[in-house]
Structure 1
Amino acid sequence: MGDFEVKDEDLAGRIGILETRHGKLETPTFFPVINPLKTEISVKELKSMGFNNFITNSFILRKNNIIQGKIHEKFGEDMIIMTDSGAYQILEYGDIYQENRDIVSYEAEIKPDIAVFLDVPTGNADDWEEAKTTVRLTLERGKEISDIVKLNQDIIWVHPIQGGSFLDLVEYSAKEANKTEGFGMLALGSPTVLMEKYRYSTLIDSIYVAKSNVSRGVPFHLFGGGVPHIIPFAVALGVDTFDSASYIIFARDNRYLTGERTYRLEDLEYFPCSCPVCSKYSPKELLEMNKEGRTKLLAIHNLWKMKEEIGKVKQSIKEGRLFEYLQQKAYSHPALYSAFRSILKYSVYLEKYDPRVKGKVRGVLLFDSYSMQRPEIIRHLNYISSYRHKKEKAIIICGDKLTSPFSSDPKVKAIQNRNKGFELLVAIPFYGLVPVLSSESYPMSQFEMPEEVDNQTIEETLKVIEKIIKQRNYSEIRFMECEKSVLSHIMSINTSL
C-alpha cells in the first residue's frame, strides 16, 4: 500500500493517485475532520457530497472506547479513513497524558488507511529553543515506533514536520523525517496559527522549505489547511492533501467560506454561491433558524466550497493554468497578494518541476510583470540566453502588431527575404526577444497579452532585451517597425551599450 502515481503536473503541483487498502485516492484532496463525539455532519452526509475520505482522532476514539474491532466496520468499507493522534489536543490544551506507543499501537489495531503518530506541535512557539524541542521530540517519537510501523505497512504512516515559523528548524525537521524509514507520507504541522493571523507569506515559506527538502515522490499533507483560498498556493508548491475541522468550527461561529475570503453570516445580504444550501436559503433565513440547524447548513456549505476549490485547482493543473489561477486569487485579498508574491520567490523551484511538454497545448495568458516569472517565460529566457546564433548582424522587429507565429507574418517574411545575412529577432513584451526561426515553438507562438501593456512590464522587458543584446555581441543591429511600438525605447538600448 501507499504507491503514489502522478497523473498530471503544473508548476510544482500535481494530480496523483494514492493507493490505500480501501481504494484509490485522487489528489489533491481534502480530508474533512469528523469528531466521533459530535454528529453535526455524518459520514453518510459526507458521502452524499462526494467525499469518500475523512480524518478522525484516534485519541478520542481510544479514550471513549468508540471502536471495537476495525475502524471501517463502524464507518464503512467504502471510505478512506485517516486517523490523527491527539497532537491537536496537545496544541490546544497541553499534555493529554497519552503515550506515543499506546496511540500508535491502537491505530495499528483499528487499521485506518492512513495514520499519524503522536507528534509534538510547534504551534505558535516564538522561542527558537522551545521550537527546537518540539522538532527533536517529534523526530524521536517517529523513531521510537519504527517497529510498529514496519510491522503494519498495510497502513500509510505519516511523519509530521515541525518547526513553525523557524525555517531552519523546518528544514532540519523535513530532512530528518524524509530519512526515517517506513513512512509513506510526510506532513507539515502547525500551520493553523499562521493562517489564523493571515501570515500567508510565512506559511508559503514554510511549505517551500519543507517540500524542497523531502523526496518529490512522497505524498505531502498539510495539517489544518482548512480555507479554500490558500489551497491553490499550497498545491502549487507540491502539497497533495489537506485536513481541517474549519468547516464546522466556522459554522458554529456563523462564518461563511468563499473561494476568496471568510464572511460573517450577519454581514451578508446575498449568498455569492449556488450550492444546495445557498440555492435554497437566504442569509436572513439562516440567521432566523435555531443554532443547531443553522450550524449544520453552514457546515454543509463550507464543505461544498472546499470541494469546489479542489475541483478548480485540479482543472487548472489539467489545463496548465495554475499560475494564472494564482494570479486571479492574488487580487482578491491583500494576504493572498502577499502569498502570491512570496511564491514568486521560488520561481526557479516551480520551473524545475513544471512539465516542459503539456498534454494539450493551450495559449499562455499574460497579464502584468508578474507573468514574466511564470515557468514558460523563465524557460524561454534561459533558452534565448544560451541560444547560439551563427550570424554577426541582427534585425530586431518590434512585434506589437505582428501575427503569431512570427515566422508566418507577411512583414517578417518580406524583411527576411531582403536581409539574408541578418538574424531576425522579434521584440515582444514579456518574452524580450524571440528568434524568428524558433518562433513556432511553444510557448512563443501560443500566448495572449493585454492590448495595453503596463509600464512595469515594458520596463522589465527592456531590461531583458538589453541583457540579451549584450550577451550576443552583434557587430550591427537594425531596428524595424519600432517607432510606434510600446517598446519604442528599444532603439536607445543599442546606443547605450
Structure 2
Amino acid sequence: MTNNLNFKIINTDGRARNGLLHLNHGTLKTPTFMPVGTGGCVKAMLKRDLEEIGAHIILGNTFHLWMRPGIDIINHHEGLHNFIKWQKPILTDSGGFQVFSLKELCKITEEGVRFSSPINGSKLFLTPEKSIQIQSILNSDITMIFDECTPYQIGSHIINREEARSSMHLSLRWAKRSLDEFKRQENKNSMFGIVQGGIYEDLREESINGLLDIGFNGYAIGGLSVGEPKEYLHKILEFVSPKIPDNFPKYLMGVGTPEDIVNAVSNGIDMFDCVMPTRNARNGWLFTRYGNIKIKNSRYKNDTNGLDPTCACYTCRNFTRSYLHHLQITKEINSSILNTIHNLHFYLNMMKEIRESINEKKFDIWKNNFLEDRSSNSY
C-alpha cells in the first residue's frame, strides 16, 4: 500500500526511542499520548485548552460518530477536522472495541457484527468495509482496521487458546478486508493493523506475521487492559513489541496508568491513548508527581496548597486544593474542566519529559526517579 505515514527514529536509549511521525495534518514527536475525544470532543476541554497543554493529536471513535451526529453531517463538513475545528492529526478507532464492550448484545459472524443501537434500538450492521468507509469520510489521519477485540474473560469464563485463536484469525481476515476497502476508497491517509491473540504468545506472533504479510503503515497492540491480571499485560507487551519491526510506529491501545506507559516506552512503544486521565478527572482522581489525589477527600477541605507544585498547568497555577475540593463536592461543572486540564497536562508533560530523557540518554535515570516519586504518595 502507499505509505502516507513517514516515521523516522531520531534517538534511542535501550529500547526506548524518539521519533518523528509525519501525518497529513501535522508531525508528531513520539512517544506521544493521544487524548480521547470519542464523539468528536475531548470531554471538558475546549480546543484552546488542548492547544495550551500541548496536545498534537486526538483520538475519535468511528462507532460513536456513526451513531451521533451521523456520517452525513460530518461529510457535509468535508471531514471530522472541519466539523470539530481541529486541524491537527486525528486517529480513529474502528469500532472494534465497542463490539467488545457490547459483546452480550452483538451477533458476530464472518461478515460482520449485528447489534441494536444503544441510542434508539435500531438494528445495525457493522462490517470491516463499513468501518473503513466511515473512517474515510471522517478523513482520519490514521485509520484503524476493524477487528474483534479478544476479551480476557466473559463472565467467569477465561478465554481459552482455541477461542483466542478463532478470534485472532477472524481479525486477520477482517484486516485484509479493511485494507482492500481502504484501497478502494483511494484513501490518502494511513492505516494501522492491530495485533490480537489474547494472553497467548504463539497466537500473538502468528497475528503479527499475518499482519506484516498484509502490510500496514503501523501496528497497534490490542486486546490488553481488558481485565487480564497486570502481569499478563507486561508479559505480552515485552514479547510482542520486539516482534514488530522497529521501522514502524508501535501503538499500545487503551493503556493506561502513568506507570504502565513508562514501562511500555521501555519496550519501544511510540503511541498511547486512554480515557483514564479524563474519566478520572471527572471523578476527582488527580495524577500528581508524588502520587494520586482523591480531591473529594475531607483532608483537602482546608488545604491552601496548589494541587501539584511541580506542575505548570492552568489549574495548578491558579487554584488551591481546597477550592478544587469544594468544586468536586458541590458537583460544579468547573470541577470537571479544571481537573481534566490538570490530568491531561500531567500526561502530556510526562511524555515531553520522556522524550527529553531519551534524547539525553538518561531515560532509565528519569524512569527510576519518576516511579520512585510516584510511589511515595507524599501528597
Same fold by TM-score, threshold 0.5 exceeded? yes
**Would the alpha carbon gap of residues 37 and 318 (structure 1) be closer, same or farther in structure 2, given more than 3 Å must change?**
closer
Structure 2 length as normaliser, TM-score? 0.80
In the other structure, the counterpart of 1:99 is: 127
Q: Conserved in 1, the CA contact under 8 Å of 2:259 and 2:371? A: no
Q: Conserved in 1, the CA contact under 8 Å of 2:250 and 2:270? A: yes
Counterparts of 2:224 and 2:318, CA distance in 1: 34
In structure 2, list runs of 5 or more residues that go unmatched.
107-114, 116-124
Is 1:298 aligned to residue 352 of structure 2? no
Identify which of 357, 360, 369 aligns with 1:319: 360
In the other structure, the counterpart of 1:272 is: 308
- Residue 52 of structure 1: how far off its partner (Å): 2.1
Q: Conserved in 1, the CA contact under 8 Å of 2:288 and 2:374? A: no
- Residue 14 of structure 1: how far off its partner (Å): 1.2
**Would the alpha carbon gap of residues 37 and 16 (structure 1) be closer, same or farther in structure 2, given more than 3 Å must change?**
closer
Does the residue aligned with 1:192 lie in a helix, a strand or coil? Answer: coil
Does the residue aligned with 2:36 lie in a helix, a strand or coil? Answer: strand
Counterparts of 2:205 and 2:239, CA distance in 1: 6
**Would the alpha carbon gap of residues 192 and 179 (structure 1) be closer, same or farther in structure 2, given more than 3 Å must change?**
same
Counterparts of 2:127 and 2:277, CA distance in 1: 30
Identity %: 24
Is 1:215 aligned to residue 251 of structure 2? no
Identify which of 161, 166, 174 aligns with 1:141: 174
**Would the alpha carbon gap of residues 153 and 236 (structure 1) be closer, same or farther in structure 2, given more than 3 Å must change?**
farther
**Would the alpha carbon gap of residues 263 and 133 (structure 1) be closer, same or farther in structure 2, given more than 3 Å must change?**
farther
**Would the alpha carbon gap of residues 165 and 331 (structure 1) be closer, same or farther in structure 2, given more than 3 Å must change?**
farther
Q: Conserved in 1, the CA contact under 8 Å of 2:30 and 2:271? A: yes
Is 1:30 aligned to residue 33 of structure 2? yes
Counterparts of 1:225 and 1:246, CA distance in 2: 8
Counterparts of 1:264 and 1:138, CA distance in 2: 39
Counterparts of 1:333 and 1:123, CA distance in 2: 30
Structure of larger gyration radius: 1
Identify which of 223, 231, 235 aligns with 1:190: 223
Does the residue aligned with 2:233 lie in a helix, a strand or coil? Answer: helix
In the other structure, the counterpart of 2:111 is: none
Deviations 1:184-213 (CA, angstroms, capped at 9, x unpaired): 010011322358x6x1x4322212221121
Q: Conserved in 2, the CA contact under 8 Å of 1:131 and 1:164? A: yes
Q: Conserved in 1, the CA contact under 8 Å of 2:146 and 2:178? A: no
Does the residue aligned with 1:288 lie in a helix, a strand or coil? Answer: helix
Does the residue aligned with 1:256 lie in a helix, a strand or coil? Answer: strand
Is 1:281 aligned to residue 319 of structure 2? yes
Counterparts of 1:279 and 1:23, CA distance in 2: 30
Does the residue aligned with 1:8 lie in a helix, a strand or coil? Answer: strand
Identify which of 369, 375, 379 aligns with 1:328: 369
Counterparts of 1:257 and 1:190, CA distance in 2: 25
In the other structure, the counterpart of 1:169 is: 203
Deviations 1:329-378 (CA, angstroms, capped at 9, x unpaired): 454578xxxxxxxxxxxxxxxxxxxxxxxxxxxxxxxxxxxxxxxxxxxx
Q: Using CA pairs below 8 Å that are at least 6 residues apart, which structure has the higher relative contact order?
A: 2
Q: Conserved in 2, the CA contact under 8 Å of 1:160 and 1:186? A: yes
Q: Conserved in 2, the CA contact under 8 Å of 1:266 and 1:283? A: no
Deviations 1:236-288 (CA, angstroms, capped at 9, x unpaired): 21101111121221122211123465332234645234332123222221221
In the other structure, the counterpart of 1:89 is: 98
- The RMSD of aligned alpha carbons is 2.2
Does the residue aligned with 2:35 lie in a helix, a strand or coil? Answer: strand
In the other structure, the counterpart of 2:8 is: 5
Q: After the TM superposition, which of the residue ranges 242-251 and 160-169 deviates more from structure 2?
A: 160-169
Q: Conserved in 2, the CA contact under 8 Å of 1:231 and 1:310? A: no
In the other structure, the counterpart of 1:44 is: 48
What is the identity, as a one-letter code, of the residue corresponding to 2:96?
Answer: A
Q: After the TM superposition, which of the residue ranges 316-325 and 37-46 deviates more from structure 2?
A: 37-46
In the other structure, the counterpart of 1:15 is: 18
Does the residue aligned with 1:202 lie in a helix, a strand or coil? Answer: helix
Q: After the TM superposition, which of the residue ranges 306-315 and 264-273 deviates more from structure 2?
A: 264-273
- Residue 99 of structure 1: how far off its partner (Å): 1.8
- Residue 106 of structure 1: how far off its partner (Å): 1.5
Would you say how many aligned residue pairs link Structure 1 and Structure 2? Answer: 330
In structure 1, list runs of 5 or more residues that go unmatched.
335-497
What is the identity, as a one-letter code, of the residue corresponding to 2:65?
Answer: L
Counterparts of 2:67 and 2:96, CA distance in 1: 14
- Residue 313 of structure 1: how far off its partner (Å): 0.6
Structure 1 length as normaliser, TM-score? 0.62
Q: Conserved in 1, the CA contact under 8 Å of 2:289 and 2:374? A: no
Identify which of 68, 73, 89 aligns with 1:80: 89
